[in-house]
Structure 1
């Protein structure tokens, strides 16, 4: 099955009605979707086993809460690059729609660059925090799983989000300028 079989992101933003550059579906996005889906399935299975063990057998699953928390964190941050590339962030347009059409591509670029800067700062701070956790070997309480690798994963996903936000913003700018 090739990526051509998968639908493309709509070329009109449903919230604002404005045109946006088409986003091709590709294998990295599909792979991330499969990995995140498997993690969500694992979280669901952990929760079911834990609840049944807790209330039926009075024996909860050891470390289920820790694993669920870590999987949830990984799912959120692994999904971030796809959201950045597809430009599917939650947005609120209160005043923006009243700006002239010629300003819109540049406003979207400025907003995306500001988002990339903020995401870059978040990535940097998570990396520093993970380094601190690694320096004294912090681990979870029950299973003694190290926390730092998860922090580094989150920081790398944020950094990838920065790159993809800038790429998507430039792609959108060129798309908008060609249409004018």
Structure 2
């Protein structure tokens, strides 16, 4: 069981690292897009076509792609004034339950994102300036949310293993 979790965790690490690199690329792209838009406005008195919507879509993907690695390395804000006072076993059980709760919420959220992407695809909804289809961005966000969900599941299982460990 523990070996299976370690293998699962290894592949999650690979996937979250890949998403992290993609999010870094998106951040660089957004930075360039905004810089060129400002330069174009000031020099040629004309905005860069589609800069706003590319920045908007890129920012949404940036957030979704960064959530899993942030959770994996426990870099998010947490308030543990009650949990920190518990014994190690109880703390492991409580944190495991919280992580499984996060997993369930993210699975429901991913399902809704996939459903919304299918509806948007059926309606052929596009952006206003560049006429880009919106559904691929929703599918990518849903995929990133699923990766985040599995990071939470893995974390919850690790907390429970620590809680029941006899050493």
* TM band (smaller chain): 0.7 to 0.9
Cα deviation for residue 44 of structure 1 reads 0.4
Question: Aligned to 1:70, which of 35, 51, 57?
Answer: 57
Query: How far apart, in 2, do the equivalents of 1:81 and 1:55 lie?
Result: 38
Task: Give a deviation string over 1:42-76, Cα, whole Å, max 9, x none.
Answer: 11010000011112321110000111111111111
Distance 2:127 2:158 in 1: 42
Aligned Cα RMSD in Å? 2.2
The structure whose RCO (Cα within 8 Å, separation 6+) is larger is 2
**Partner residue of 1:172?**
159
TM-score by length of 2: 0.83
TM-score for the superposition, normalised by structure 1? 0.78
Matching residue of 1:117:
104
Structure 1: which 5+ runs fail to align?
Answer: 1-22
Which structure 2 residue ranges, 5 or more long, are not aligned? 1-8
SS of aligned partner of 2:130: coil
Alignment of 1:15-164 (within 5 A): 27-164=14-151
Count residues with an aligned counterpart: 158
Shift of 1:93: 1.6
Change (3 A) 1:46 1:128: same
Query: Which range moves more in the overlay, 101-110 or 28-37?
Result: 28-37
Distance 1:166 1:30 in 2: 17
Give the whole-Å Cα distance in 1 for the aligned partners of 2:160 and 2:70.
18
Q: 3-state SS of the aligned residue for 2:89?
A: coil
Change (3 A) 1:179 1:54: farther
Give 1:150 deviation, angstroms.
Answer: 0.6
Normalized per residue, which structure has more helix?
2
